[in-house]
Amino acid sequence: MGESLPVYKMNGIGNRIAVVDLRAGGAPLTAAEALVLAGPSRGLGFDQLMALHPGRDGADVVVAIYNSDGTPAGACGNGMRCVADVLFAETDAARLVAETAAGALVMTRGPRPATYTVDMGPARFGWQDIPLAAPVADTMAVDVPLGDAALPGPASCASMGNPHAIFWVDDIHAYDLARFGPLLENHPIFPERANITLAHVADRGHIAMRTWERGAGLTRACGSAACATAVAAARLRRTGRTVAVSLPGGDLVIEWRERDDHVLMTGTATFEYEGRFDPALFADVA
């Protein structure tokens, strides 16, 4: 990797985020290197890692996203707010564009300090876009059989650049998400695995939720899951197009914008510390 490189440890309403700045040089991280950095004893102990690369084709920055198991991720809403916090500290611009595997995402300053809005683009609902393993009649009501396990169902499925399955429940704490989350994440109906969410619609302007995050496990917050859940609730006419979403780590405001169906996520990004990581961490990586 060459010389040591800047890293920012942050969190987005409890979602542990590491931002590694590779804009001055350095090859893209490999999955094995990302896994080393995730280790709490040798590395950063993150849920997602956001690797920054020089911008291109009109984007201010290119962002590669990794889960804590080293696998690449298409989207991370909480991580993008942390990226926004790093980048807006360098500029007076009101708007920045990040290129990700999920497409170009627009970041703007929020209504309060350390608050940012990320345009996550449109949600997608086609079975092949999520993706599911086979066509279904209605992706808002997908049966996900799991043997004798007591499950809520059916699931509402959507993609926010990554796959999501939302189960509507009366009590988000009544199910052992740590037990059946990994079973559902890896269910054959989800060929690229899935983020698994339990959601309760408290009223037309408020949703409470918990998520088992693909590649990261039980998490205090998942921004893309909050987006998928809010849009699914609006499609099912359980809420309006703007809702507050409460996660274990804090609250987000999600707007499913009517004029173009883009999903806008607003929330905080909290800076913890800045450091540099030693490339010697990768000495034993094959």
Pick the catalytic residue from 82, 157, 222, 227.
222
- Active site includes 82? no
Two structure tokens written together for 262: 């883009």
Pick the catalytic residue from 76, 82, 157, 227.
76
- Active site includes 76? yes
Question: Phi first, then psi: what are they for 167, rounded to 5°?
Answer: -110, 125
Asked if 140 contacts 125 with a C-beta cutoff of 8 angstroms, the reply is yes
Tell me the one-letter amino acid at 213: E
Residues designated as active site: 76, 222
